[in-house]
């Protein structure tokens, strides 16, 4: 191969390389949700949209890819002083999106670092107007204030702040201990209140139950007494009706009196008992029923108790007023009193 052929081959090879390089520098493919800025001879020319684009090689310069999707940045904890001079560390999370690739590329050098510094400055300004308790309980207020300030400042950078969230607020250890003690005291207070309310409700329910029980018992006792009285009334009415229907004679009544007499002295401590005057009439009826005379019945009938004056009696009782039969000492031989010389009582069956 001659030198001319070699030179031609080298020229052709160089041409192919230059052509390939030219084609590669003139054709650009931009992915979806991305953008590229183009400078022509050092000045901004246009922004390449997603898809295929053509530029003039060696004249236009295509800059770095810019992400148009929403991005999230988590900043490290920032020391912030509250209104009551308490230092707290606050972690923030920022959501933003590039809306203008040209402004984001030419209005600021590093918009991410700028957003971080602006967030820290705005956070100090907002927290500086709040005390510790308001800082811990006003996260929505802080988020809204941060978003408003950041959105206004970053608008000229071609950035839109969509959301700002406070991830954590860390007070000093001494404040945390005091807060834990306060919360523990509040919980104990609520527990004591609930316990007292439960005991109060239990006592009220117990008292209501006892009240209802007493009412029901009283009503039951009242009903039982009424029924018992009605039963006794009915029984008495029935007995009297039977007696009146049978029309008993005096002999039967006298016999009933005699049957009742032994029961009067059944008590162990009975040393004195009184025989009513009706018994004399009953004994007369019995005597007549068995053929006896009235004098015999009267002779065997018990006499009223006579009183023997006792030592120390008042003068008005020393003479023994007639008709008085108190339980004093009785004279020996009195019928119906059971009196004997030893002072022991005896029944009517033992008299005579």
Residues 278 and 258 in one domain: yes
| DSSP state at residue 341 | T
Three-state DSSP at 53 gives strand
Residue-level pLDDT at 324: 42
At 204, is the pLDDT very low, low, confident or very high (cuts 50, 70, 90)? Answer: very high
Domain endpoint, select from 52, 67, 82: 67
Nearest CA to 47 out of 2, 90, 85, 104 is that of: 104
Residues 253 and 240 in one domain: no
User: 121-127 long-range contacts, Cβ below 8 Å, gap at least 24?
Assistant: 122/146, 122/149, 122/150, 123/78, 123/80, 123/90, 123/92, 124/78, 124/80, 124/81, 125/149, 127/80, 127/81, 127/82, 127/88, 127/90
Domain endpoint, select from 103, 137, 171: 171
Instruction: Render pLDDT for 280-292 as a digit per residue (tens, 0 to 9).
Output: 666 666 566 555 4
Residues 333 and 285 in one domain: yes
Instruction: Render pLDDT for 294-315 as a digit per residue (tens, 0 to 9).
Output: 444 445 544 544 444 445 545 5
- Give me the percent of the chain exceeding a pLDDT of 90: 22
**Residue recorded with tokens 């025989």:** 275
d(C-alpha 50, C-alpha 31), whole Å: 5
CB 323 within 8 A of CB 250: no
Residues 301 and 229 in one domain: no
CB 95 within 8 A of CB 161: yes
Residues 61 and 115 in one domain: no
Does 141 have pLDDT greater than 90? no
Instruction: Render pLDDT for 251-290 as a digit per residue (tens, 0 to 9).
Output: 666 666 667 667 666 666 556 656 666 556 666 665 665 5
Of the CA atoms within 13 Å of residue 116, those in its CB half-sphere come to 12
Q: Which residues neighbour 77 within 8 Å (Cβ) at sequence distance 6 or greater?
A: 89, 90, 91, 168, 170
Does 192 have pLDDT greater than 60? yes
- Whole-angstrom CA distances from 133 to 32, 191, 270, 337 are 46, 24, 91, 101
Does 331 have pLDDT greater than 50? no
Residues 154 and 221 in one domain: no
Residue 54 belongs to what domain range? 3-67
- Whole-angstrom CA distances from 115 to 73, 148, 341 are 9, 13, 131
Q: Determine the straight-line distance between the first and last CA of the chain, rounded to whole angstroms.
A: 188
- Which of 198-207, 225-234, 305-314 is predicted with the least confidence, judged by mean pLDDT? 305-314
Domain count, the chain: 4
- Whole-angstrom CA distances from 311 to 9, 326, 330 are 176, 15, 13
Query: Domain for residue 182, yes or no?
Result: no
Query: Domain for residue 161, yes or no?
Result: yes
CB 132 within 8 A of CB 90: no
Residues 29 and 119 in one domain: no
User: Domain holding 124: CATH number?
Assistant: 3.30.479.30
Query: Domain for residue 183, yes or no?
Result: no
Residues 225 and 157 in one domain: no
The distance of Cα 342 from the centroid of its chain, to the nearest Å, equals: 79
Residues 89 and 167 in one domain: yes
Domain endpoint, select from 171, 204, 219: 171
Q: Calculate the average pLDDT of the chain.
A: 77
CB 146 within 8 A of CB 129: no
């Amino acid at each position: 191969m001659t030198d001319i052929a070699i030179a031609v081959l080298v020229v052709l090879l160089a041409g192919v390389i230059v052509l390939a390089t030219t084609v590669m520098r003139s054709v650009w493919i931009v992915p979806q949700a991305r953008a590229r800025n183009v400078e022509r001879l050092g000045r901004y020319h246009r922004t390449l949209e997603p898809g295929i684009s053509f530029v003039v090689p060696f004249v236009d310069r295509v800059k770095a890819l810019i992400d148009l999707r929403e991005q999230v940045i988590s900043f490290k904890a920032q020391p912030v002083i509250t209104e009551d001079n308490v230092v707290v560390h606050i972690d923030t999370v920022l959501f933003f999106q590039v809306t203008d690739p040209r402004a984001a590329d030419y209005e600021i050098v590093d918009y991410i670092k700028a957003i971080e510094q602006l967030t820290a400055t705005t956070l100090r300004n907002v927290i500086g107007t709040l005390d510790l308790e308001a800082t811990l309980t006003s996260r929505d207020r802080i988020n809204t204030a941060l978003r408003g300030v950041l959105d206004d400042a970053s608008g000229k950078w071609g950035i839109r702040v969509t959301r700002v969230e406070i991830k954590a607020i860390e007070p000093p250890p001494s404040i945390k201990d005091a807060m834990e003690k306060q919360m523990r005291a509040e919980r104990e207070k609520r527990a004591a209140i609930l316990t007292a309310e439960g005991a109060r409700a239990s006592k009220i329910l117990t008292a209501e139950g006892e009240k209802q029980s007493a009412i029901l018992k009283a009503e039951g006792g009242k009903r039982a007494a009424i029924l018992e009285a009605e039963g006794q009334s009915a029984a008495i009415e029935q007995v009297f009706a039977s007696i009146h229907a049978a029309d008993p004679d005096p002999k039967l009544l006298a016999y009933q009196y005699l049957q009742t007499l032994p029961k009067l002295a059944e008590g162990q401590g009975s040393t004195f008992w009184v025989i009513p005057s009706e018994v004399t009439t009953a004994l007369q009826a019995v005597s007549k029923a068995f053929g006896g005379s009235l004098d015999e019945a009267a002779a065997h009938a018990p006499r009223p108790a006579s009183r023997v004056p006792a030592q120390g009696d008042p003068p008005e009782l020393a003479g023994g007023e007639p008709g008085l039969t108190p339980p004093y000492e009785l004279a020996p031989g009195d019928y119906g009193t059971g009196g004997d010389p030893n002072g022991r009582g005896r029944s009517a069956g033992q008299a005579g």
